[in-house]
Amino acid sequence: MSFRGKIKFSELSNTGMVREHNEDSIGTNAEIALMVLADGMGGYNAGEVASGIAVQTISELAAEGANREVRHERDEATGFMRQTIVLRDAITRSNKIIYQTAHSQKHCEGMGTTLVACIFCDNKISVAHVGDSRAYRVRNNKLERLTMDHSLLQELVDRGFYSEEEAQRSTNRNYVTRALGVEPTVNVELNEYDCKPGDIYLLCSDGLSDMVEDDDIHLTISTFSASLDVVSQHLVQLANDNGGRDNISVMLAQVVDAFPVKHGLLSRIKGLFGK
């Protein structure tokens, strides 16, 4: 299916005010409505290598899978759409490549990356994440976080030791409990959501979410929503104005019109018989 005129995209990545180089990597494929954002970590330039491997591998494999699979059909084993499984498998493969590279190349030892990715199909969005890179949605002028961080701080919030407001002010935000390339296998968290025209989806690295409070993210998106590029620029500027202690990456998608899959006769017959 074509997403032309259905979804608008924007992306921007910035080194920030403190770091010497950018270890974030981002990639959008408008043809299959895919966005991938990775926030690398590791000594020297290893974080940049890890995030680059993640974005390239996931983008390539997701494109192959999206063109091969009937994306909107449901996987019998998991109940997810096949496009969600394609995204999960691409992330799993990238984890293996990063892990093997980290253990075979001395200069890449200890590298890894957090990740958030999404792909659209049939009026739905599939969201996958590992670590503390985030996905948000603005709908009916309300900001909602679609991902919960895989971090020590989030675990403490979940157990009632911190409130969300206290967590926002905490200086111990960056201890992630899950990342790509750290272990031979990785648990990828998957979610699917219905999309509506007017929805705006934001993917970001913690260089944004650590420096800019959710209320200010919401206000920026609401104020400048007529231009996603302007939203991206203002979000990055806000993070830098607040100190820019990390690399900052933002990716935005706005649903302009519905994008249902046209179901043919064979598909409708399968639906009647539950196959």
The one-letter amino acid code at 148 reads M
Which stretch of 48-52, 134-138, 142-146, 263-267 has the lowest confidence by average pLDDT? 263-267
Mean pLDDT of the chain: 91
Give the model confidence (pLDDT) of 182-215 as tens digits: 999 999 999 999 999 999 999 999 999 999 999 9
Q: Terminal CA-to-CA distance of the chain, rounded, Å? A: 22
Average pLDDT over residues 160-182: 72
pLDDT of residue 274: 45
Least confident of 35-39, 57-61, 215-219, 271-275: 271-275
Q: What is the pLDDT of residue 275?
A: 42
Paired strand residues for 189: 129
Query: How many residues does this entry show for the chain?
Result: 275
Which amino acid makes up residue 5? Answer: G
Q: What pLDDT is recorded for position 42? A: 82
pLDDT at 171 (0 to 100):
57
Task: Give the pLDDT band (50/70/90) at residue 271.
Answer: very low
Summarised one tens digit per residue, pLDDT across range 16-31 is 999 999 999 999 999 9
Across the range 56-71, mean pLDDT stands at: 94
Q: What's the whole-number mean pLDDT along residues 32-48? A: 90
* Nearest CA among 109, 5, 111 for reference residue 50: 111
Selected from 3.40.920.10, 3.40.630.40, 3.60.40.10, 3.40.50.300, the CATH number assigned to the domain covering 7-272 reads 3.60.40.10
Q: What is the pTM of this model?
A: 0.90
The SS3 of residue 13 is strand
A 10 A CB-CB count for 241 gives 12
Over residues 260-271, the mean pLDDT reads 61
CA 91 vs CA 14, 85, 109, 126, 180: distances in Å:
24, 10, 20, 13, 8
Q: CB 4: neighbour CB atoms within 10 A?
A: 8
pLDDT of residue 195: 98
Instruction: State the sign of the Cα–Cα–Cα–Cα dihedral 15, 20, 23, 29.
Output: positive
pLDDT category at 262 given cuts 50, 70, 90 is confident
- Domain ranges across the chain: 7-272
Give the mean pLDDT of 249-270. 80
Work out the pLDDT band at 268, boundaries 50, 70, 90: very low
- Does the structure show a pLDDT above 50 at 261? yes
Q: What is the rounded distance in angstroms from the CA atom of residue 135 to the CA atom of residue 128?
A: 9
Please report the pLDDT score of residue 74 as a whole number. 94
Which residues, 6+ apart, have CB-to-CB distance to 136 below 8 Å?
143, 144, 145, 146, 201, 202, 204, 214, 217
